[in-house]
Chains A and B, each alone.
Chain A
Amino acid sequence: MAGPVIRAERLSLRHGKGCALCHAPDFVAETNICPQCGTVWALRDVSFDVMPGEVFGIVGESGAGKSTLIDILDFARDPSDGAILYAPWKEGLVPVHDATAQERRYLRSFEIGVVHQNPRRNLMMGVSAGGNVVERMLAAGNRHIGEMRGVAGDMLDHMELAGRMDLKTGTLSMGMRQRVQIARALVNSPKVLLLDEPTTGLDLSVQARTLDLIRQVHRRLGLAIILVTHDWSVLRLMARRAIVLKAGRVVERGTVAQLMEDPQAPYTQLLVSSAL
């Protein structure tokens, strides 16, 4: 496959109607709130391509729109303007907003895996760790418990959760929950994995192990990963290319090495210097 897996085309998400001032294409503001009408532009004209087998980074400070972007890529919400085009679904790049609810559900079940920053968004805490993984296979139509337990057990073993399959997810530690999430996201072998700050809030040794696991999976399955983070060391370890978001806009794009060694935008310079 030569073309990109996912293409975002001028994605915008605004809360409010907007006015003549902030709808103008050359509108620039220091924050993402329009000074005239108060409309919040959570995202504005965000475009990027993700190639197959690539780890693509999205960096930015708190409130920059990173998680909003993940929500849009995961169909949890629709953009106000712009489109997401998705390749492995039909022939060529197809905009997913034309998709029916069933097609979206198919995409979410089989083509896209998502790991949220907060495991509670993905996992049912009253259900066993294995059950959370098995649920994706049930959605895919598998009706054989022994078979599903085999696959989910292997998956959790890979995530270093051997023997914890039948414990309730709520009794697991934060790091374990995060790894259950990753197992759940990967069990239907998706083509794209969305990682929203997968290691934030974990202690350093768990962080390193989790990232290592993700890298192993990436090597083994060759899927495209979109990695959202505010941590430059994570980004340097994992990603090749990245975009920098500020107040909902892309302020800089390039390879991670470029961004770190030779940041052009003042905001990127600030981010890099504060990280080092």
Chain B
Amino acid sequence: MTEMQAQTREAPAYPYGYLDEFMKGSVRVAILKAVCIPGYQVPYVSEEVPIARGYGSGGLQITLSIIGREDRFKVIDEGDDETVNAQNLRRMIGTVTGNVATRDPARATIIQSRHKVPEAPLAEGQIVVLQSAFPDALRFFERSEAVSRQMHAEGDYAKLWLRLYESVIDHGEIMIGGRYPVMVGGRYVLDPTHVPRWDLPMMDNSPALFLFGAGREKRIYAIPPYTSVVPLGFDDHPFRVEQQEGRACLLCQSTDSFLAPVLRMGGAYDWVCSDTAYCRARRGEELEDAQWLDQ
């Protein structure tokens, strides 16, 4: 047995946070660059992590690269703490770091999320890590990466506006649900992932830092704290969030949070808060911390 093999045997199975220091370093460099240029997509070496590409590998790499021993993290999937995706990621992060997971967004320093920003107001020092599937808002009509980078560089967003125009012509209003293009810091248009339109005003001038990781597409981009986030809209057809008149959460009667439909027997819909932690807090339930084992 060579010396090297012996060392490998004795070494722990993985370092703190699973990724080795070199990988963490390369991700952190990309994050710093992304924070310096709000909305700019920074290419980075998207390494292998033990989940498949497209299941949040970009967000997971960011979380594992920035997490420290004192951090308390929260993982949500479309607002829900308890979906399979959220539970698995929470268990994974907990296993490789030993950090404490929480369901309370106010106590979490890192919130990894898929397709939802927590309804509770965010504070300074908090980091929201969003899992992004398609980093480039221009990909809808420009297949070439080289051309779309040029378009970003020149601020050539006419075709993006044209997409909104066509939507107004076809449907009478802008019918874009997720991936609604937003202008960040007055310079770059970015794809805010599949968060509902409801969440976009929450990103505007937020005290928290938003990091977007696209593991499959190998891009990281960011919205720094207190940066303007303006959803695109026309003077006579402005941006609107989802209209929820006449609906309230079935469980907590909330009307000021984003509501998700639940199909009832007979084909009608009930509506419940998409953000389960928000809903439970409104009902007076305790949002407990959890060691990585949920059961």
Q: What count of chain A residues pass the 8 Å CB interface test?
A: 19
Interface residues of B in 219-249 (CB under 8 A from A): 234-237
Chain B residues in 8 Å Cβ range of A131? 162, 165-166, 169
Interface residues on B, range: 10 to 19
Whether A76 sits at the interface, judged by CB under 8 Å, is no
Contacts of A136 in B (CB 8 A): 158
B282 lies within 8 A of chain A by Cβ = no
B154: interface (CB < 8 Å): yes
Tell whether B161 is near chain A: CB-to-CB under 8 Å.
yes
Residue pair A144, B236 in contact (C-beta under 8 Å): yes
Say yes or no: A128-B158 contact (C-beta < 8 A), given A101-B153, A143-B235: no
A139 contacts B234, C-beta separation under 8 Å: no
Binary CB contact string for chain A from 120 to 163 against chain B (1 if under 8 A, 0 otherwise): 00001001101100111011000111101000000000000000
Q: Total A-B pairs in contact (CB under 8 Å)? A: 45
Q: Are B234 and A145 in contact (CB under 8 A)?
A: yes
Tell yes or no: A102 within 8 A of B by CB: yes
Provide the residues of chain B in CB contact with A128, threshold 8 Å: 166, 169
CA distance A139 to B161 in the complex (A): 9
A127 in contact with B234 (CB, 8 Å): no
Residue of B nearest to A139 (CB): B158
B187 at the A/B interface (Cβ < 8 Å)?
A: no
B156 — which chain A residues lie within 8 A by C-beta? 105, 139
- Tell me whether A166 is interfacial, beta carbon within 8 Å: yes
Residues from chain B with Cβ under 8 Å of A134 in the complex: 162, 165
A166: chain B residues within 8 A (beta carbon): 169
Bound form: Cα–Cα A166–B161 in Å = 16
The answer to the question of B139 belonging to the interface, with a C-beta cut-off of 8 Å to chain A, is: no
Q: B residues engaging A (CB < 8 A)? A: 141, 150, 153-154, 156, 158-159, 161-162, 165-166, 168-169, 234-237
- Roughly how many angstroms separate A148 CA and B169 CA in the complex, as a whole number? 12
Contacts of A148 in B (CB 8 A): 165
- Pull 13 A–B residue pairs with CB atoms less than 8 Å apart, ordered by A: A101-B153, A102-B154, A124-B141, A128-B166, A130-B169, A131-B166, A135-B158, A135-B159, A135-B162, A143-B234, A145-B165, A145-B235, A145-B236
A128-B166, A128-B169, A145-B168 given as contacts; is B161 within 8 A of A138 (CB)? yes
Question: Which residues 76-135 of A sit at the B interface, judged by CB distance below 8 A?
Answer: 101-102, 105, 124, 127-128, 130-131, 134-135
Q: Are B153 and A138 in contact (CB under 8 A)?
A: no
Complex Cα distance, B153 from A102, in Å, reads: 9
Q: Which residues does chain B contribute within 8 Å of A124, judged by CB atoms?
A: 141, 162
Taking the closest CB of chain A, its distance from the CB of B168, in whole angstroms, is: 6
- Which residues of A have CB within 8 Å of B166? 127-128, 131
